[in-house]
Amino acid sequence: MSEETERDLLRRIHTGERAACEEFIRMYYKPVYGLLFNLSRNAAQAEDLTQETFAAAWQHIGAFDGRRPLGAWLHRIGYNKFLDAQRSQVREHSAQRLAGYAPPHSGSGMGPVERVLSDERSRQLHDAIHRLEGAGRDLIIMHYLQGLSFREMSEILGEPAGTVKWRVSEALARLRQETLNGGLNHD
Amino acid sequence: MTEPNHEQNDPLALAALEEELRRLPRPEPPARLEAALISAIPPGVRRRVPAERFRRAPLAVSAAAAAAAFLLVCMSLVVIARSRNDEAHSRNAVVLAPRPPAEPSGLPRASWGACSRARLQSPEAFDEMLARDAEFLLRPESSEVPASLNMRWFLNRMNPIEEEHHEKHSLCRSAPGALV
């Protein structure tokens, strides 16, 4: 989406045009859902977080000046929603462990990732991504699975584009090691 | 954290991995999500106050508040000064208010204008008053302070006793009706 189109869409949203708001949703809800699904590996959570992301966007879009890319701005909201949810999950699990409560097992049926990634190799690759430590997982998902540019990622993560690029290449090298350890070969 | 080694950094292998990552299937959101998001659009999505004006507003508000506070302080100072002035006036009034009644001769006391008028109206009464004042100034122990004593007026006319006047000045000032 060109900057001009994005500015025009934002201007129409700011004038209160409902059709522009619907266009904004249709344009971005799939990438936002994709990011949240790939990060959480949970379809229900991704759906909830997508709705929360757009609800927050409607709250703040009136003050958004359009100097940053609209998509990156929305992804940033979504990413922050995911981080918040992850933090609250960690707190919840810690409390459950302290209370000696074991969450019910999800069963042997197909999970959301299995439904999306039908072949074994894709599933193994996805698992390897989620085994990455630190922010490596998020960087790989944003750049390769979501197709976000380094500039957009720098807007989302609040880091210079050069730093993001270096961190992505470093995360890719670690993923390569993970795939080797897991028996996946790309030669 | 695992340090990348030579095998990990093989450019061809990394390029193949990048390609494979890009080809991973994209998750499709459920159909109901789009409808849910559209139905959740709030009715009043509009541009809010421009950022620049928004930033300026608090400055204007603070300037107005500062001006109001300054005005309030000035008004308070004026009120305090006026009340102190009134207090001082009332203190003076306590000293000066109980002016002695007029003498039987009807002459008003202890006023420059009154003395001048007395002199013009009744030279005898005036001379009598002058004599009383002079007697007091020459022998303050032996006589009461004359209510009509007006030191400045008196000294203007009785230069020879000026030195004695200075010695008794404080006493004379405290005399009722003595407007010096």
Residue of B nearest to A172 (CA): B14
**Is the pLDDT confidence value at B115 over 70?**
no
Q: Which of A85, A107, A129 is the last residue of a domain?
A: A107
Q: What is the total count of domains within chain A?
A: 2
Q: State the ipTM, two decimals.
A: 0.81
Structure token pair of residue A70: 């609209």
Domain with residue A183: its CATH number is 1.10.10.10
- Whether residues A122 and A165 share a domain: the answer is yes
Confidence of residue A38 (pLDDT cuts 50, 70, 90): very high
Answer whether B9 sits within 8 Å of A173, measured CB to CB. yes
pLDDT of B96 reads: 47
- Whether residues A155 and A99 share a domain: the answer is no
Asked if residue A81 lies in contact with residue A52, where contact means CB atoms within 8 angstroms, the answer is yes
Give residue A84's domain range: 1-107
H-assigned helices in chain A: 3-14, 18-40, 43-60, 70-99, 112-116, 120-131, 136-140, 150-157, 161-181
pLDDT of A172 reads: 94
Answer whether B24 sits within 8 Å of A170, measured CB to CB. no
Q: Which of A107, A141, A166 is the last residue of a domain?
A: A107
Q: Which of A107, A134, A165 is the last residue of a domain?
A: A107
- The DSSP letter of residue A134 is T
Instruction: Return d(Cα A55, Cα A66) in angstroms, integer.
Output: 18
- Whether residues A34 and A103 share a domain: the answer is yes
- Whether residues A25 and A49 share a domain: the answer is yes
Instruction: Return d(Cα B25, Cα A118) in angstroms, integer.
Output: 9
- Domain assignment present for residue A112? The answer is no
How does pLDDT run across B19-38, given as a tens digit for each residue? 999 988 888 999 899 999 99
- Whether residues A71 and A123 share a domain: the answer is no
Answer whether B16 sits within 8 Å of A61, measured CB to CB. no
pLDDT of B97 reads: 45
**Is the pLDDT confidence value at B166 over 70?**
no
The answer to which of A38-52, A161-175, B105-119 has the lowest mean pLDDT is B105-119
How does pLDDT run across A112-142, given as a tens digit for each residue? 666 666 678 888 899 999 999 888 999 999 9
Residue of B nearest to A15 (CA): B46
Instruction: Return d(Cα A126, Cα B175) in angstroms, integer.
Output: 109
**Is the pLDDT confidence value at B52 over 60?**
no
- Cα A179 versus chain centre, distance: 22
Answer whether A122 sits within 8 Å of B40, measured CB to CB. no
pLDDT of A162 reads: 95
* Of the candidates A31, A83, A38, A87, the residue with the CA atom closest to the CA atom of residue A54: A31
pLDDT of A76 reads: 95
Structure token pair of residue A144: 């390769």
Give the distance from residue A95's alpha carbon to the nearest chain B alpha carbon, in angstroms: 28
* Of the candidates A24, A38, A69, the residue with the CA atom closest to the CA atom of residue A145: A38
How does pLDDT run across B122-138, given as a tens digit for each residue? 777 778 877 877 777 77
pTM here is: 0.59
* Of the candidates A65, A68, A77, A72, the residue with the CA atom closest to the CA atom of residue A148: A72
- Domain assignment present for residue A124? The answer is yes
Instruction: Return d(Cα A147, Cα A32) in angstroms, integer.
Output: 12
Confidence of residue B45 (pLDDT cuts 50, 70, 90): confident
Asked if residue B43 lies in contact with residue A20, where contact means CB atoms within 8 angstroms, the answer is no
Confidence of residue B43 (pLDDT cuts 50, 70, 90): confident
* Of the candidates A22, A36, A37, A73, the residue with the CA atom closest to the CA atom of residue B34: A22
